[in-house]
């Protein structure tokens, strides 16, 4: 028997569309994409796959059936992962059970609120209200939103604790900010949040699944922390940007969907991925290939640096970058204070990077300023000087150095990120070292310089690496042509 057997039956379009949305999270996603993003959706196979994976978990919870596994999804940025998992998924679940409760966690409250706002945009949209009049918000809060049937969505950051809240779902989306991915302190905070704050907040320990979605960041990141827990049943979905040898793709059956070795040629073409690679090999390996490397393991392949007798006659630009120490010695530890370092670096007409000179020492402030001034005079005015300006007290010190260098071209540079981001700042420079695009002028300072690079970030001192990273940023941004 079909609808053709009932010629006089009137079928309401909204009823059919609403029923289709309830039955299929993927169809719901397609229909409500325009509500959360005005851009035309770039369809790719992974969207339907992830929607179906989430729906399978949701259907067990809706039936109040025991949890079979927790879900860890590792996928690169620009894949709509947050819209799928954190924005749309809870809203779709409420269509089938408006009593469901969600704890949605991210690295910052700002991000939590942004995702909650997008969920609310769907719920209050004309289309949603027309199709699903029985599903309504009781409040329009951001951190907490309630349905009229007692369901809720609580957005919490790593620094918070969902006090008194016990959920049917734990959705963890980017628990560590990728901009501080090299900070072990941030990783530790995220692991503590999972183990101490979130783990007990379940309606039923045998029911509530953990759904974690993130790009890999480091070997100590939250995904690895969950994957390493003994006895925990995990369904691991890993979708790297490039197929490679296919060993990192999980489940293995997903390898068939890669086109020309790419996960999503429309969003992440070869051209776009080549741009990402310029950010550094560690960033690309972790966030895009989902294969994080241990920090410091092979960060600088110093054997790739060619030692040369003479530099080229002409450069696109040359900078002397100063990383200033603020004390000459550590209290009670003679010879253990940080170094002031000035790295002279140039980019030649072929685009190769040259380490031309390194000035390094421990000096009192007045002596240090004299060394910086004297070095500038020896370099000449064709060399642009850059001064690292650290937060707070560093600003005044940088201004004083600029005044001391009157008559020279000087720039102040304030590195972004936290003080624990030394490895991340060094990564773009390390990438060029590791492909053999860096040369060094032979000189007595070579040994100490290369040794620091070789053992970074586990070397005793990191000042030469810091100054080199700053100099590299300058020579790759500047365009004026000069000669030594």
For 365-411, how does the pLDDT look when each residue is reduced to its tens digit (9 = 90+)? 999 999 999 999 999 999 999 999 876 556 788 889 999 999 999 99
**Are 206 and 316 members of one domain?**
no
- Comparing CA positions, the residue from 419, 337, 407 lying closest to residue 376 is 407
**Residue 177, in any domain of the structure:** yes
**Residue 202, in any domain of the structure:** yes
Write the DSSP string, 448-484: HHHHHHHHTTSSS--HHHHHHHHHHHHHHH----EE-
- Could you say which DSSP state residue 160 is in? -
**Are 197 and 268 members of one domain?**
yes
Please report the pLDDT score of residue 345 as a whole number: 98
The helix or strand, by DSSP H or E, that contains position 105, with its residue range, turns out to be strand 101-106
Please report the pLDDT score of residue 183 as a whole number: 79
| 3-class DSSP assignment, residue 135 | coil
| 3-class DSSP assignment, residue 327 | coil
**Are 264 and 410 members of one domain?**
no
**Are 31 and 122 members of one domain?**
yes
Largest CA distance in the chain: 97
Query: Per-residue pLDDT tens for 238-280?
Result: 999 999 988 899 999 999 999 999 999 999 999 999 888 877 7
CA dist 239 and 465 (Å) reads 33
Please report the pLDDT score of residue 45 as a whole number: 98
In CATH, what number is assigned to the domain containing residue 275?
3.40.50.300
Please report the pLDDT score of residue 294 as a whole number: 63
Query: Per-residue pLDDT tens for 48-58?
Result: 999 999 999 99
Please report the pLDDT score of residue 335 as a whole number: 42
- Could you say which DSSP state residue 261 is in? T
460 pLDDT band (50/70/90 cuts)?
low
**Are 18 and 94 members of one domain?**
yes
State mean pLDDT over 80-100.
Answer: 97
**Residue where the block lists tokens 């429309």:** 266
**Are 259 and 316 members of one domain?**
no
Residue 464 has pLDDT above 70, yes or no: yes
**Residue 3, in any domain of the structure:** no
**Are 339 and 281 members of one domain?**
no
111 pLDDT band (50/70/90 cuts)?
very high
**Residue 263, in any domain of the structure:** yes
| 3-class DSSP assignment, residue 198 | helix
In CATH, what number is assigned to the domain containing residue 373?
3.30.420.280
Write the DSSP string, 283-316: HIIIIITS----TTTTS--GGGPEEESS--SEEE
If one counts the domains in the chain, the total is: 2
**Are 331 and 233 members of one domain?**
no
**Are 268 and 316 members of one domain?**
no
**Residue 48, in any domain of the structure:** yes
Query: Per-residue pLDDT tens for 167-214?
Result: 999 999 999 998 887 777 888 999 999 999 998 899 999 999 999 999
Q: Which of 288, 316, 344 is the last residue of a domain?
A: 288
**Are 367 and 245 members of one domain?**
no
Contacts of 375 (CB under 8 A, 6+ apart): 320, 342, 359
Residue 4 has pLDDT above 70, yes or no: no
**Residue 7, in any domain of the structure:** no
The Cβ of residue 459 has, within 10 Å, a number of other Cβ atoms equal to: 15
Query: Per-residue pLDDT tens for 444-459?
Result: 899 889 988 987 876 6
The Cβ of residue 218 has, within 10 Å, a number of other Cβ atoms equal to: 22
Q: Which of 266, 288, 310 is the last residue of a domain?
A: 288
| 3-class DSSP assignment, residue 435 | coil
- Comparing CA positions, the residue from 356, 342, 363 lying closest to residue 464 is 342
| 3-class DSSP assignment, residue 443 | coil
Please report the pLDDT score of residue 298 as a whole number: 60
Structural domain for 148, as ranges: 14-288
Query: Per-residue pLDDT tens for 13-38?
Result: 888 999 999 999 999 999 999 999 99
**Are 333 and 274 members of one domain?**
no
**Residue 188, in any domain of the structure:** yes
**Are 362 and 251 members of one domain?**
no
Lowest mean pLDDT among 34-48, 230-244, 288-302: 288-302
The share of the chain scoring above pLDDT 70, in percent, equals: 89
**Residue 78, in any domain of the structure:** yes
353-361 vs 169-173, strand pairing mode: unpaired
Give the burial class of 477: count Cβ atoms within 10 A of its Cβ; 0-12 exposed, 13-18 middle, 19 or more buried: exposed
């Amino acid at each position: 028997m079909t609808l053709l057997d009932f010629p006089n039956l009137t079928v309401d379009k909204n009823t059919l569309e609403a029923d289709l949305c309830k039955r299929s999270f993927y169809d719901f996603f397609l229909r409500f994409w325009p509500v959360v993003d005005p851009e035309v959706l770039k369809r790719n196979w992974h969207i339907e796959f992830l929607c179906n994976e989430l729906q399978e978990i949701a259907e067990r919870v809706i039936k109040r059936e025991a949890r079979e596994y927790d879900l860890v999804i590792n996928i690169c940025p620009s894949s709509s992962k947050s819209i799928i998992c954190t924005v749309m998924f809870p809203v779709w679940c409420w269509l089938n059970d408006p009593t469901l409760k969600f704890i949605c966690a991210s690295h910052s409250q700002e991000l939590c609120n942004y995702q909650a706002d997008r969920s609310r945009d769907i719920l209050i949209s004309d289309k949603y209200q027309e199709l699903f009049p029985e599903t309504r918000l009781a409040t329009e809060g951001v951190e907490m939103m309630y349905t009229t049937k007692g369901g809720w969505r609580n957005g919490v950051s790593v620094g918070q604790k969902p006090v008194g809240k016990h959920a049917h779902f734990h959705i963890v989306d980017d628990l560590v900010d990728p901009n501080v991915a090299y900070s072990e302190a941030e990783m530790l905070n995220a692991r503590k949040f999972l183990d101490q704050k979130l783990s007990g907040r379940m309606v039923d320990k045998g029911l509530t699944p953990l759904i974690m979605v993130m790009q890999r960041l480091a070997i100590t990141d939250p995904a690895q922390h969950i994957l390493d827990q003994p006895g925990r049943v995990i369904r691991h979905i890993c979708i790297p940007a490039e197929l490679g040898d296919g060993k990192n793709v999980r489940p293995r059956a997903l390898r068939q969907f890669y086109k020309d070795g790419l996960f999503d040629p429309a969003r992440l073409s070869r051209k776009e991925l080549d741009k990402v690679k310029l950010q550094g090999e560690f960033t690309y390996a972790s966030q895009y290939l989902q294969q994080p490397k241990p920090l410091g393991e092979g960060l600088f392949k110093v054997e790739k640096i060619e030692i040369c007798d003479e530099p080229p006659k002409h450069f696109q630009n040359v900078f002397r970058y100063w990383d200033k120490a603020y004390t000459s010695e550590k209290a009670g530890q003679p010879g253990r204070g940080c170094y002031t370092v000035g790295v002279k670096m140039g980019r030649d007409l072929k685009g190769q990077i040259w380490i031309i000179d390194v000035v390094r020492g421990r000096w009192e402030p007045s002596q240090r300023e004299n060394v910086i001034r004297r070095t500038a005079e020896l370099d000449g005015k064709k060399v642009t000087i850059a001064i690292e300006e650290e937060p707070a007290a560093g600003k005044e010190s940088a201004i004083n150095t600029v005044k001391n260098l009157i008559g020279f071209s000087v720039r102040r540079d304030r590195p972004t990120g936290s003080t624990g981001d030394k490895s991340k700042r060094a990564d773009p420079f390390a990438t060029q070292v590791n492909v053999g695009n860096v040369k060094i002028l032979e000189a007595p300072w070579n040994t100490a310089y290369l040794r620091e690079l070789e053992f970074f970030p586990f070397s005793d001192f990191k000042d030469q690496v810091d100054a080199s990273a700053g100099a590299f940023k300058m020579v790759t941004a500047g365009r004026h042509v000069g000669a030594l």
